Amino acid sequence: MDVKRFEILPVLESVRLNEKINFQITCLEVNNNDVYLGTADGFVLCYQDVLEAFVTPQPTPQHRYMSTKKAVTQIKIAPILERILCVYDATFVALNLNNLEVINSLRIKNIYSFCLNENPMLLEDPFTLELCLVKKKSVCIYHLQADKLTLVKEVTVPEQPILVAMDGYFVCMAAENNYYMLDWQSGECQQLISNDSTSSMSPVCKHVARNEFLINGLSHLGVFVNTSGISERPPIDWGMDVKRIAYSYPFILCLKQYSITIISVIDSQMKEEIPFENGAYIDNFDGKIVIASSDSIFYLRRLPWEEQIDSLLDSGKSQEAIELCDTLSENGLISNRDFENTKLVQVKAELEELSQDNESAFLYGQTGDHAKKWPRYGEATVEPSQPLALSV
């Protein structure tokens, strides 16, 4: 029995303004249930409330033409400032979130990429954001207000950055040949690993947790690295042809040419392969995983944890079910009420162990590393001198 973790639901069948004008999606962003798209020919589109019960029929989007048929390569929402931040034609610009009007005071040329600081250190004003903007062989730290950009610091770097992600005083950078960790306050730049520039895989440089990033190294490996430049987790073998990734703990979702690969960070193993062709973009937007093909939008819904655990047990994967329960509990991903419901996992797993002729090992507490944790899920304990008694 195959264990399903996610399912794909259609949101927009075709991105268009009318019957004649179609678009090719290059990037996307989500704000509440609104989806914002950047296109290959210089448009920013806004579909309102399309993630709210997946509205039909398909609505006509708000749109803004960015004055040139150059691709919009990045788009990010700053809801507290009511601004849409984007890069097109090597220009950083902000739009009004409500009417998509361009804010001319928030326009900078010769910008190739940008990111928000996920953990700003210097800001006391909640209506100020910290940005990292990539110029030619330098990165610039800016403070962004509703109608003002203030340069904080510019730092020269060894190579031209392609992608950046930011946490506090640290910027993780993907360049053409190497990955770097930059302390922008001190200017110290540490080389991390080489980037296989001959690979067909796009660079990956994603902030995944406090003081931690996920990048891709040689031999199709994903590498977790902290702000000290150290990797404290095993690498992830996510295979060839990965275009983009989304991170939804405890899973990494890899968008490939013909599929979406689901990999668990618990054991670094592939858990599911979902057929999906012509994928262009994927990301996790505050728990909502949205995927784009060249001209369509889809929602990747995670199945409830209870369903996943039951499927693992029904497939005879009792140890994996227990590991998942442990991880969810330790990371606060299930409520106390849901945690109480997982007590049956222990009982089902115990029965599975018995069915595999492990009765002796189970009775004497020798069923592996997780034996010590099982009493958390059940109410009864078994003493070696006592007969086994299970009740549900």
Radius of gyration of the chain (CA): 24
Name the CATH topology of 6-302: Methylamine Dehydrogenase; Chain H (2.130.10)
Return the pLDDT at 78: 95
Task: Summarize pLDDT for 223-233 with one digit per residue, the tens.
Answer: 999 999 999 88
pLDDT per residue as tens digits for the range 262-291 = 999 988 999 999 999 989 999 999 999 999
pLDDT of 32 above 60 = yes
Angle between helices 343-355 and 318-330 (to 10 degrees): 160
Token look-up 């991390």 returns 192
106 closest CA partner among 149, 43, 66, 74: 149
Lowest-pLDDT choice from 10-14, 42-46, 138-142, 171-175? 10-14
d(CA 57, CA 51): 13
Measured distance between the N- and C-terminal CA atoms of the chain, rounded to whole angstroms: 25
Q: Kindly compute the dihedral angle of the four CA atoms of residues 293, 203, 85, 150, in this order, to the nearest 10 degrees.
A: 180
Compare 113 and 372 and report the one with higher pLDDT.
113
pLDDT (average), residues 310-335: 77
Residue ranges covered by each domain of the chain: 6-302, 307-376
pLDDT band, residue 315 (cuts 50/70/90): confident
| pLDDT of amino acid 360 | 45
0.95 exceeded by pTM: no
Pick from 56-70, 125-139, 254-268: least confident: 56-70
Which tops the pLDDT comparison, 53 or 313? 313
pLDDT in tens, 102-158: 999 999 999 999 999 988 877 788 899 999 999 999 999 999 999 999 999 999 999
Residue type, 289: I
Q: What is the mean pLDDT of residues 358-372?
A: 45
% the chain with pLDDT above 70 = 81
> Would you say residue 198 has pLDDT above 70?
no
